[in-house]
């Protein structure tokens, strides 16, 4: 479906043309003065210069063409030449009825379904997930869902850190604790045990212990580096241990991401492309891109227009070892070959901005990506505590993701109990705990996504879990409220599928309708800008408009059955749109709250 703003603009453009002016002047925008009008057109001011006429005259002439318009109920001219517009209720209700019947509420399918890879999450194997991993997971999941909903073929890839020093550290620590393990016997040629020699709980404790020790003990660190080296060079015992670490850790990661309702199509990692590195290095050398500098192999990526220093992209260290860079480049090469993506979107902490700039330039310059393939980096800001510094535990340590989620769920449960107590109804504790989990997730995700990704924000558990204001629980509360009204209506014998939206009878109803009508434009923008916060702002406006309308309108008590049915249709559309939007953000609504 055409966007409502485009339909309105077309009508205004016709009026300008009919009055003898350039039709393009008739472009309509949202109103800057919602107290005066719903939409506005400033074209008369722009036309004044072109036509050497007073803007007021031009505006009046255009307005005169619209007396019989099916679109505008009111076109008023305000000095110096604004056209203030109000839409006909019938035009708006007709648009909403069309939305109801159209797939995806009138969002048009893209001309061609593109292949898009979203690289997000970025968990590191053997290390616990911490709050720093929360934002890329939440934002990436939403971006992935938006791209997919719009109609593209989307692949979400976690791109695990599974090949670095942390693996050598874990192996070294294991060797200290259990030196007799068969994995460390260099003469062993038999099969290795199928069971890992550690549990996830042990693994979680091993890495921090090893990491701490390596910082104090240089010999220990050297050993860990040696172990990493051996692993990377394919030593059997090390590889076998590595596979155990992978299996135990990935299983746990999946559980953690599942609890966030974050799901990856590919569980690829840095290790998966190691075999491609020698070939890639050859290619970069043969193409004349890579050269030696202080023993290391680098590719220059600075450009004349740079205003900041962009250092060369390092491909191999002087000892021949590959780096994080190397792996990302090899992954790009691998993805090009396997999926021919039109676009690759990376979501990581914005402290990696320069890093991705280097990688993207290097991939482009060396032809690892096609000219047509877009590379996008979404650098997210930090989630801070109330002190404005990265969020920590009360003791000042790095907060584990699991613990953060648990804190939120507990706070959510407290709020649910409090809410029930003030409203004077009984709750079933098991049910309330389940609801708290669902609403708690919405609280975290909405609290995160409602901020522009690049901005830092303060994690304020009390605000995020509040039922009022610009929060996830408020949105869910609105959805639950709508569902409950629809349920009661159905209980009275009303049909939820037959009613059609009717012309608005009051301002609050019309405001809600005007908000809903923006749906396709909002989703398109959220997709183009890879910006979930656009959807948050949209549903917050809708929730406000709905609650205002509902406050003023006694829907279920209405005795005019047709009128009532029209409102029910509007409620249903509002609920369906809200639910579709939260699905794109990555959370869901409970049945009751």
Interface contacts to ligand ARG, rule CB under 6 A: 119, 122, 124, 159, 161, 328, 346, 348
Q: Would you state the structure tokens that stand for residue 397, as one six-digit string?
A: 């340590």
Q: In terms of C-beta density within 10 A (0-12 exposed, 13-18 middle, 19 or more buried), how is residue 381 classed?
A: middle
SS3 label, residue 344: strand
> How far is residue 457's CA from residue 463's CA, in Å, rounded to a whole number?
12
Q: For residue 37, which of 79, 91, 67, 77 has the smallest C-alpha distance?
A: 77
> How far is residue 234's CA from residue 240's CA, in Å, rounded to a whole number?
10
Contact 306, 313 (CB under 8 A): no
Name which of 99 and 375 has its Cβ closer to ligand ARG: 375
- Residues in the chain, overall count: 593
Name which of 164 and 499 has its Cβ closer to ligand ARG: 164
> How far is residue 41's CA from residue 11's CA, in Å, rounded to a whole number?
11
Q: For residue 106, which of 517, 509, 515, 496 has the smallest C-alpha distance?
A: 517
HSE-up of residue 247 (Cα within 13 Å, Cβ side):
12
Q: Would you state the structure tokens that stand for residue 162, as one six-digit string?
A: 């599974």
Distance set, CA 510 to CA 94, 159, 317, 546, 567 (Å): 12, 47, 64, 10, 11
> How far is residue 340's CA from residue 116's CA, in Å, rounded to a whole number?
9
Name which of 207 and 346 has its Cβ closer to ligand ARG: 346
> How far is residue 593's CA from residue 588's CA, in Å, rounded to a whole number?
12
Q: Would you state the structure tokens that stand for residue 573, as one six-digit string?
A: 């559309």
> How far is residue 125's CA from residue 246's CA, in Å, rounded to a whole number?
7
Q: In terms of C-beta density within 10 A (0-12 exposed, 13-18 middle, 19 or more buried), how is residue 35 classed?
A: exposed
Q: For residue 570, which of 548, 541, 546, 537 has the smallest C-alpha distance?
A: 546
Q: Which residue is nearest to ligand ARG (CB)?
A: 122
Name which of 119 and 515 has its Cβ closer to ligand ARG: 119
> How far is residue 182's CA from residue 320's CA, in Å, rounded to a whole number?
30
Q: CA end-to-end span of the chain, whole Å? A: 35
The string over 397-413, giving b where at least 16 C-beta atoms fall within 10 Å of a residue's C-beta and e elsewhere, is: eebbbeebbeebbebbb
* Torsion from C-alpha of 48, 50, 51, 53, nearest 10 degrees: 20
| Shortest distance, position 133 Cβ to ligand ARG, whole Å | 7
């Amino acid at each position: 479906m055409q966007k409502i703003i485009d339909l309105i603009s077309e009508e205004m453009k016709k009026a300008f043309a009919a009055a003898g002016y350039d039709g393009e002047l008739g472009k309509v925008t949202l109103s800057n003065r919602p107290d005066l009008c719903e939409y506005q057109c400033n074209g008369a001011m722009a036309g004044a210069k072109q036509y050497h006429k007073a803007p007021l005259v031009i505006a009046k002439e255009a307005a005169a063409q619209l007396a019989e318009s099916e679109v505008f109920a009111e076109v008023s001219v305000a000095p110096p030449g604004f056209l203030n517009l109000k839409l006909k209720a019938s035009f708006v209700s007709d648009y909403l009825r069309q939305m109801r019947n159209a797939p995806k509420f009138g969002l048009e399918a893209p001309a061609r379904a593109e292949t898009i890879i979203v690289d997000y999450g970025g968990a590191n194997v053997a290390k616990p997930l911490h709050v720093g991993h929360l934002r890329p997971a939440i934002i990436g999941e939403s971006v992935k869902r938006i791209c997919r909903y719009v109609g593209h073929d989307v692949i979400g890839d976690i791109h695990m850190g599974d090949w670095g020093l942390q693996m050598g550290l874990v192996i070294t620590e294991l060797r200290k604790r259990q030196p007799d393990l068969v994995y460390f016997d260099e003469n062993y040629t038999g099969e290795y045990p199928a069971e890992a020699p550690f549990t996830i709980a042990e693994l979680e404790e091993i890495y921090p212990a090893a990491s701490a020790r390596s910082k104090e003990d240089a010999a220990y660190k050297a050993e860990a580096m040696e172990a990493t080296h051996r692993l990377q060079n394919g030593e059997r015992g090390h590889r076998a241990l590595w596979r155990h670490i992978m299996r135990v850790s990935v299983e746990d990661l999946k559980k953690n991401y599942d609890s966030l309702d974050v799901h990856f199509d590919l569980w690829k990692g840095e290790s998966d492309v190691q075999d491609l590195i020698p070939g890639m290095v050859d290619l970069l050398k043969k193409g004349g891109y890579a050269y030696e500098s202080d023993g290391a192999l680098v590719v220059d990526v600075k450009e004349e227009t740079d205003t900041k220093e962009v250092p060369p992209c390092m491909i191999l260290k002087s000892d021949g070892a590959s780096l994080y860079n190397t792996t990302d480049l090899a992954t790009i090469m691998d993805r090009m070959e396997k999926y021919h993506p039109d676009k690759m979107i990376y979501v990581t902490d914005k402290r990696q901005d320069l890093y991705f700039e280097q990688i993207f330039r290097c991939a482009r310059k060396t032809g690892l990506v096609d000219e047509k393939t877009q590379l996008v980096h979404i650098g997210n800001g930090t989630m801070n505590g109330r002190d404005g510094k990265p969020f920590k535990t009360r003791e000042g340590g790095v907060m584990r993701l699991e613990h953060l989620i648990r804190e939120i769920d507990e706070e959510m449960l407290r709020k649910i109990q409090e809410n029930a107590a003030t409203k004077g109804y009984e709750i079933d504790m098991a049910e309330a705990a389940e609801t708290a989990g669902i609403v708690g997730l919405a609280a975290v995700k909405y609290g995160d996504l409602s901020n522009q990704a690049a901005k830092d924000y303060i994690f304020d558990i009390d605000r995020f879990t509040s039922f009022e204001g610009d929060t996830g629980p408020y949105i869910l509360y609105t959805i639950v409220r709508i569902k409950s009204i629809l349920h009661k209506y159905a209980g009275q014998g009303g049909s939820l599928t037959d009613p059609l939206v009717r012309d608005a009878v009051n301002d609050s109803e019309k405001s809600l309708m005007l908000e809903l009508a923006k749906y396709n434009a909002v989703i398109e923008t959220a997709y183009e800008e890879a910006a979930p916060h656009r959807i948050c702002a949209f549903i917050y406006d809708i929730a406000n408009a709905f609650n205002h309308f509902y406050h003023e309108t006694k829907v279920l008590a209405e005795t005019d059955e047709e009128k009532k049915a029209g409102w029910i249709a509007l409620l249903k559309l509002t609920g369906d749109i809200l639910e579709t939007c939260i699905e794109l953000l990555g959370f869901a609504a409970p049945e009751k709250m």
